[in-house]
Structure 1
Amino acid sequence: MQTDVGSKKPLTAAQQAAKEPFLPLMRELARAYQAFCSYDEENIRHLGLTGPQFDVIATLGNTSGMMMGQLAEKTLVTKGTLTGIVDRLEQKGLVRREVPPNNRRCFKIVLTPEGEKLFEEVFPAHINRLKERFSQLSETEIQQITAALRRIREIF
């Protein structure tokens, strides 16, 4: 059992938990994600879109459309949440639902011409904005960070 350095009293379970060596990693991971989201969403908001809406537009770009399940998997959004996002994008005239002739029980989500135009205008600019930041990392650093994040994902 660990003891408090100054008083030699046994540490409580909460005090012991607070000393876990992976906690600084969790904090940095969360802070990195928050910093990225803040930077990323600042650029997206001026388009009149939310982050998840932009993610759907970016994911559908350069494709002939996707089924809801595939789109949910690629955007990391649940199908239930995705339905609302697609509804709002449809109201904005950026996507449409198509019923495939071979499976009338599901929908394929497709960018409209307006959605394609938006994608062609904003996606390259958005990627260039992100590139400004990520170019501060070497290719080796990008590979190492990618591998470390993949490893973290795998343990969960």
Structure 2
Amino acid sequence: MNLTNMYQRPGFLLRRSHQISAAMFENACAGVGLTQAQYGALTVLASEPGIDQSRLARALAFDKVTVLRVLRGLEERGLVAREVSASSRRQMAVQLTAAGKRLLKKAEAPVHEAYEQLMAPLNEAQRKQLIGLLQTLTDSLGDQARAAFVPLQHG
């Protein structure tokens, strides 16, 4: 395989796109001190207060080690609180603190800025096409992932 072929492979382009997306997100959110993983966790917790760590991990497609690392960092900053779940003593329930709610609200503008910056090269039709294609890939091949993804259902 020559370099041109390698540089045009979906895996290479997806990895490179993720690097760019992460850098844009972290640059835009530097003022609020959030990574994509932390923002994702805070967003799920705002939507599902008291969720257990296992469901949180699945809702973000994280493995257990990653979700624990993210939660520890957020807990150290006073943004989330963990306690033994009322439904299962073997599970930890997690919720946002008041500080976590404030930070999530403060992050709205920089998160939107990062999204717009990332999508700026694409017109509206291309944006929809990109999201549709990525959704098709992840829906069709999700069983190949190392971490399960179980989206939360909201009516």
With structure 1 as the length reference, what TM-score do the two structures score?
Answer: 0.73
1:104 aligns with 2:89: yes
- For 1:46 and 1:126, the matched residues in 2 are separated by 9
Q: Select the structure with the greater relative contact order (CA < 8 A; seq sep ≥ 6).
A: 2
Q: Secondary structure at the match of 1:104?
A: coil
- How far 1:112 sits from its partner (Å)? 0.6
> Which structure 1 segments of 5+ residues have no match?
1-16
* Partner residue in 2 for 1:83: 68
1:63 aligns with 2:44: no
1:145/1:49 Cα in 2 relative to 1: closer, same or farther (>3 Å)?
A: closer
Q: Secondary structure at the match of 2:127?
A: helix
**1:115 alignment partner, one of 100, 117, 128:** 100
In the TM superposition, structure 1's runs of 4+ consecutive aligned residues that sit over 4 Å from their partners are 17-23
* Partner residue in 2 for 1:137: 122
1:29 aligns with 2:47: no
CA contact (8 A) 2:44 2:56 kept: yes
- How far 1:131 sits from its partner (Å)? 4.4
CA contact (8 A) 1:43 1:126 kept: yes
* Partner residue in 2 for 1:46: 31
- How far 1:99 sits from its partner (Å)? 2.3
With structure 2 as the length reference, what TM-score do the two structures score?
Answer: 0.73
* CA offset digits 1:47-99 (Å, max 9, x no partner): 23343223212322243232111111222221112112212211211100132
CA RMSD between the two structures: 2.6
* Partner residue in 1 for 2:136: 151
- When structure 1 is superposed on structure 2, of 108-117 and 36-45 the one drifting more is 36-45
- Matched residues, percent identical? 24
* Partner residue in 2 for 1:125: 109
- For 1:77 and 1:144, the matched residues in 2 are separated by 26
CA contact (8 A) 1:44 1:54 kept: no
> Which structure 2 segments of 5+ residues have no match?
145-155
- How far 1:137 sits from its partner (Å)? 3.2
Larger Rg: 1
Given residue 113 of structure 2, which amino acid in structure 1 is its aligned partner?
R
For these two proteins, the number of residue pairs brought into alignment is 139
- For 1:59 and 1:126, the matched residues in 2 are separated by 18
